[in-house]
Amino acid sequence: MLDIHEECGVFGLWSPKTYDLARTVYYGLYSLQHRGQESCGIIVNDCGVFTGHKDLGEVGDVFKASVLDAIGQGQIAVGHVRYGTTGATDRKNAQPMVVNHVKGSMAVAHNGNLVNSYDLRTELELAGSIFHTTSDTEVIAYLITRHRLTTASIEEAVSETMKEIRGAYSLVIMSPAKLIAARDPFGFRPLCYGRQTDGTYVVASESCALDAVSAKFIRDVEPGEIVVFDRDGGRSIRTHCGEEARRICIFEYIYFARPDSVIDGVSVHASRVQAGRILAQDHPADGDVVVGVPDSGLDAALGFAEESGIPCAMGFVKNKYIGRTFIAPGQSQRENLVHIKLNVIAEAVRGKRVILIDDSVVRGTTSKKIVEKLRAAGALEVHLRLTAPPFIAPCYYGVDVPDAGSLIAAGHETEEICRYIGCDTVGFYDPAHLGALLLHGGQSLCTFCSACFGGPYPAGQPAHTGKYRFEQKLPD
């Protein structure tokens, strides 16, 4: 039960007809809500005139029927859900970003993180640019605008921009007449597209959003590829393809993505079931039942059960009403958060040796309480198996991993962790076996980024990670 956040989900539509497509984006964003709950936005393009709405909050809070109605009709649209890192919870950073430039309006929705945005921004500022936000997205918008002065099309300007920006980016860009999807040459973050029966093209971070709007999945946007949708249909620009080795974020499979999504040809669900199988091989345990921690541990529990022959059980109920409005208990209350969020089904674990499948251990405090609850409900033994290797390094490509100081795995041996959590044994997923999570037809389809688990940083690290000058206090 991780508390780690992806930064964004993107969505876009290009339709041959005019209708109230904000509602379609709305349903698409509902399906991507797990990728960001802090702010969201929808921008609709009616023959070049952009209208829309964005605000802090989840999709259901920000978009009431009256708001959707007010957005009106159009032919192209983009949407975005966002999780912002602490301190930047600001309405002005909500996306998609709309800017007006020499060629009319442009909307940009971005998932990922650049490693050279500080330098690019400084360069732009020194040339007289002004910035309204602190996001990488505004840097990207500026670069496209600059290149647009000298290129014949927006897609060329995007291609030129891709020569300058470095890092993780899955972009959906809307110009007065086009919808453009672009993915960085490493392909860190997912991006795919499909088509509805009436000819509307749909672009989304995950295939589950295509399903939600009844669009048939066509294919993933490839690393480095730019796909353009307009009156002439869809077409691909592959100039940047193959520039880099494919490096999909392995954590998309382990934790972020929805299990019903298929990313780069690999089912997220299948990948998690496979993680359970590998765990059963690498870290077997004598147990009576296999119990997954909802939601992300449930798929892996099936795999562990299958491989080990130990039956799967439903050991927990998760309170599905706890959302952003929930007030966490303070010190004066004896109950604690885990009690309210997650309850043990005593009947399922009483008198049993439990093999507990979870995704990861961050600080260790939640796992400790879950183990306590299992024992209190009568579990005889608890063997914790984790579908992720230990987190030991920061992510610079769009995931908000806590500081090493709060990562229990960064400073402790497995035995120490086991003792702290209070379980009988602990087994982490072996980093050497990560490739097995991406099997397709028996072989591992693609290479991946596992920098947070100690792997290399494919796109390098940022030269400057400091604050911008307007975020620093002057000497008084």
Catalytic residues: 8
| Contact residue for a second copy among 197, 403, 405, 432 (CB under 8 A) | 197
Q: What is the smallest separation between the CB atom of 451 and a second copy, expressed in angstroms?
A: 27
Instruction: Build a one-symbol-per-residue string for 392-421: x at contacts with a second copy by CB under 8 A, - elsewhere.
Output: ------------------------------
329: helix, strand or coil:
coil
Nearer to a second copy, 65 or 152 (CB): 65
Examine residue 17 and tell whether it contacts a second copy (CB under 8 A). Answer: no
Q: Which stretch binds a second copy (CB under 8 A): 161-169, 190-198, 279-287, 407-415?
A: 190-198
Residue closer to a second copy, measured from CB, 176 or 234: 176
Please say which residue, 302 or 370, places its beta carbon nearer to a second copy.
Answer: 302
Shortest distance, CB of residue 463 to a second copy, whole angstroms? 19
SS3 160: helix
Does the footprint of a second copy cover residue 46 (CB under 8 A)? yes
**Which residues, numbered 446-465, are part of the site for a second copy (CB under 8 A)?**
none
Instruction: Point out which residues pair with 233 in neighbouring strands.
Output: 230
CB atoms closer than 10 angstroms to residue 328: 10
61 belongs to the binding site for a second copy (CB under 8 A)? yes
Q: Tell me the per-residue interface mask from 239 to 268 with a second copy, x by CB under 8 A, - otherwise.
A: -------------------xxx-x----x-
Q: Which stretch binds a second copy (CB under 8 A): 112-120, 233-241, 405-413, 467-475?
A: 467-475
Provide the Cα torsion 100, 172, 170, 2; round to 10°.
100
CA distance 356 to 383: 6
Tokens 């002065």 sit on residue? 149
Nearest residue (CB) to a second copy, 335 versus 403: 335
Q: Binder to a second copy among 158, 263, 278, 313 (CB under 8 A)?
A: 313
Please report whether residue 175 would count as binding a second copy according to CB under 8 A: no
Cis upstream peptide for 295 (omega within 30°)? yes
Residues in the chain, total: 476
Kindly state the helix (H) or strand (E) to which residue 308 belongs, with its residue range. Answer: helix 297-308
**Residue 331 beta carbon to a second copy: minimum distance, rounded to whole angstroms:** 11
443 binds a second copy (CB under 8 A): no
Binder to a second copy among 23, 353, 412, 433 (CB under 8 A)? 23
Is residue 24 involved in binding a second copy (CB under 8 A)? yes
User: Rounded to whole angstroms, how far apart are CA atoms 52 and 241?
Assistant: 33
Residue (of 428, 422, 419, 352) closest to 385 by Cα position: 428
Does 366 help bind a second copy (rule: CB under 8 A)? no
Per residue in 114-145, is it b (16+ CB within 10 Å) or e — as a string?
A: bbbbbbbbeebeeeeeeeebbbbbbbbbbbbb
Contact status: 178 vs a second copy (CB under 8 A):
no
CB of 250 to a second copy, least distance (A): 18
Q: At what angle do helices 136-148 and 117-126 cross, to 10 degrees?
A: 50
152 contacts: CB under 8 Å, gap ≥ 6: none
Closest distance of CB 128 from a second copy, Å: 4
- By C-alpha distance, which of 204, 38, 31, 14 is closest to 109? 204
Q: Does 218 bind a second copy (CB under 8 A)?
A: no
Q: Give the HSE-up count for residue 316: Cα atoms under 13 Å, Cβ half-sphere.
A: 28
* CA pair distance 257, 9, nearest whole angstrom: 10
Q: How far apart are CA 17 and CA 200, in angstroms?
A: 8
| Residue 436 is a binding residue for a second copy (CB under 8 A) | no
Is residue 50 part of the contact set for a second copy (CB under 8 A)? yes
In a 13 Å sphere around the CA of 233, the CA atoms on its Cβ side amount to 2
Smaller CB separation from a second copy, 212 or 409: 212
Among 306, 372, 400, 430, binds a second copy (CB under 8 A): 306
List Cα–Cα distances, 167 to 48, 133, 223, 391, 402, in angstroms.
Answer: 30, 19, 12, 20, 20
Candidates 87, 232, 331, 334: give the one binding a second copy (CB under 8 A).
334
User: Cβ 271 to a second copy, closest distance in Å?
Assistant: 9
Identify which range of 158-166, 182-190, 299-307, 418-426 contacts a second copy by CB under 8 A.
Answer: 299-307
372 binds a second copy (CB under 8 A): no
If binding is defined by CB under 8 A, does position 65 make contact with a second copy?
A: yes
Q: How many residues bind a second copy (CB under 8 A)?
A: 108
Q: What does the alpha-carbon distance between residue 427 and residue 311 come to, in Å, rounded to a whole number?
A: 19
Binding of a second copy at residue 70 (CB under 8 A)?
no
- By CB under 8 A, which span of 61-69, 238-246, 279-287, 351-359 interacts with a second copy? 61-69
Tell me: does residue 149 bind a second copy (CB under 8 A).
yes
Q: Which of 425, 274, 416, 459 is nearest to 356 (CA)?
A: 425
310 interacts with a second copy by CB under 8 A: no
CB contact at 8 A, 370 and 356: yes
Q: Are 111 and 249 in contact (CB under 8 A)?
A: no
